[in-house]
Structure 1
Amino acid sequence: METIDDRRVRYLFEAVTSGSVRAAADKMDMNPSVVSRQIAQLESELAITLIERHGRGVKPTDAGEMLIDYYRQHQSHQSDLVIKLGELRGLARGHIDLVLGEGFVSDLMAEPLQSFWVKYPGLTIKMNLAGTNDVLRQVTDDLAHIGLVYNPPITPSIRSRAAVRQPMCAIVPPDHPLTKLERQPLLKHVAAYPLALMHGSYGTRQVIALAEQMDRIRLTPKLTTDSITVVKRFVMAGMGIGLLPEFAVTQEVDAGDLVALQIDHPLLAGVEAHIVTRLGRQLPTAANQLLLQLISTMRAFKDSRQRSKGVRQ
């Protein structure tokens, strides 16, 4: 065949991303037989199997994956075209998809978004919170224009637009014994106190695990969570300490409620915060303006000489 029916490809996409034909049908508000028939028709037209059915749903074949990637890129290009057409009206309207780790939220809300919306009040932003791995996935799959991520692994499809060293810190109350040390705390000092750590899908926990291996120290967290807010509340309640980069607690440090102590460890001292986009994707003007705003105004992307005085180095 000379053309591919994009409407039928959408049925395939929804079935695979939803996990089953029935789930796709529910999402599209139609009968499952319609979805199944459209996929079968597409397989017939292309003369190749696109999905494999199993007890819990469907998964794509190699050919199915190719069509799903095609559909994602097609939707991304279409979305970018709509935005660019809007940009001809002077950025009076438009939408940006942003995905980030929770640790960036207080930094982002402190000034960057306020300043951005003063300049471009007609633009809208969708903000998703995710762990490191999911941030990279959403950017790679064009579900987000921009990602903010801490300690990301090297990923061929990802382009880093800014990378700034943001050491891992021990987050403690102002009167904690670690603040009385005459030196930066070592990992063994941290291990002596009850800890709150993030789940393993987060960049903070992944780099901590590597540091544990290097020092042959095993940290046993009293609390494991997927919420940085929970870690901060744990520390402020006097239940123990947390391990986070300083920018995740900027408001609390500025208010004097918490102190961020840089840990004396070569690996933890060299961790970076990144702003990322998909390699090869040309951002719409609105998204590019937001990217420039974040790089120039977020504390997470200032070097160590420009950081808060609440961080003890």
Structure 2
Amino acid sequence: MQLLPVNLAYFLEVARAGSVTEAAQGLNVAPSAVSRQIAKLESGLGVALFARHPRGMTPTEAGLRLLAHARRTEAESASLVEELRTGGGAAARSVTVACAEGFARRLVPLAVAALRRERPDVSFRVDVVPRQEATRRVVEGLADIAVTYAMGPQADVRVECAVVVPVTAVVPCGHELAGRERVGLAELCGYPLALASPGTSQRELFDIGVRLEGLSVRAALVCDALAPQYAFVRAGGGVALVGDLGDLDDTGLAHVRVDHPVFRQREAQVQTAAVRRPSWAATRCAELLAEALSRVPGV
């Protein structure tokens, strides 16, 4: 069943087929009917949507933008039709969230619990994965929602919420930095550091900041998991860097904000697929996650 307006459906078919004649064959209508709908659409928008060539038609820049919108609308319509036909069955009541480790500690479980209080029939799967893997799973349909860090524009996802999260230095309560509100990068690098692996977003930004400042740093510990880093700090091994999502483990520890503009390039994001309509349960879960993330103290 087709929920798209006729002119948008015809536009999509012409973009796919590359010509009015082939689009008409696919739609089982007269070529003149397709031409009229495209002409009405272009007239109404006031822009040319196709460049006409002897061997066919290709979308203009405006046409490509409309094409992306039409594809999203088509995918969402198909998802809605299926959901209506199945009565919002088991698939609509199951939500998969892919998230980076920091979000799995508190933010994601609290949103899951909140939705479960609203709708006990909804079930969840939470996969803790690297940041880029979380986005990939949403794009490929392996997860409904990603909660992850991102730097720069993200293709094929809809960003429901984005917040620049401060980076803090974690030190024992008796440490000389404890009680400070901020610490500069140069001063921080004078201490033994526990850092994430190269290639992670925080490490990438840290390495950029170090190069900008002309500093030389050798990590005392390289580890992506948070628990070993906290244990390292508690044992007096050095200082760790973590994102401040408002739920930091502070038992015997102090957190000092790292003051450097390079860390403002990274956002914590709630992402959904750009070309698929999420189920009602996934939509509500994304709303709760966005609300929770928006409450995180920003830079």
TM range, smaller chain: 0.5 to 0.7
Q: Which residue of the partner structure matches residue 147 of structure 2? A: 148
Q: Which residue of the partner structure matches residue 193 of structure 1? A: 191
Residue 254 of structure 2 corresponds to residue 262 of structure 1: no
Q: Give 3-state SS (helix, strand or coil) of 2:209's partner.
A: helix
Alpha carbons of 1:189 and 1:126: their partners in 2 closer, same or farther (altered >3 Å)? same
Q: CA deviation at 1:225?
A: 1.5
Q: CA deviation at 1:111?
A: 2.9
Q: Which residue of the partner structure matches residue 14 of structure 1? A: none
- Segments of 4+ moved more than 4 angstroms: 76-87
Q: Which residue of the partner structure matches residue 221 of structure 2? A: 223
Per-residue CA distance 1:22-70 (angstroms, 9 max, x = gap): xxxxxxxxxxxxxxxxxxxxxxxxxxxxxxxxxxxxxxxxxxxxxxxxx
Which residues of 2 match residues 93-132 of structure 1 at below 5 A? 94-108=93-107, 111-132=110-131
TM-score w.r.t. length of structure 1: 0.63
Contact 1:84 1:284 in 2 (8 A): no
Count of residue pairs the alignment pairs up: 225
Q: CA deviation at 1:252?
A: 1.5
Q: CA RMSD in A?
A: 3.0
Contact 1:132 1:152 in 2 (8 A): no
Higher relative contact order (CA 8 A, sep 6+): 2
Per-residue CA distance 1:149-185 (angstroms, 9 max, x = gap): 123342222221101121111112222111255x621
Query: What is the letter of the counterpart of residue 302 of structure 1?
Result: R
Q: Give 3-state SS (helix, strand or coil) of 2:259's partner.
A: coil
Which residues of 2 match residues 1-313 of structure 1 at below 5 A? 88=88, 94-108=93-107, 111-181=110-180, 184-247=182-245, 250-253=247-250, 256-269=251-264, 271-296=266-291, 298=292, 300-304=293-297
Q: Give 3-state SS (helix, strand or coil) of 1:172's partner.
A: strand
Alpha carbons of 1:303 and 1:109: their partners in 2 closer, same or farther (altered >3 Å)? closer
Query: What is the letter of the counterpart of residue 97 of structure 2?
Result: L
Q: Give 3-state SS (helix, strand or coil) of 1:304's partner.
A: coil
TM-score w.r.t. length of structure 2: 0.66
Alpha carbons of 1:288 and 1:122: their partners in 2 closer, same or farther (altered >3 Å)? same
Q: CA deviation at 1:236?
A: 2.2
Alpha carbons of 1:79 and 1:202: their partners in 2 closer, same or farther (altered >3 Å)? farther
Q: Any stretches of 5+ residues in structure 2 without a counterpart? A: 1-75
Contact 1:262 1:269 in 2 (8 A): no
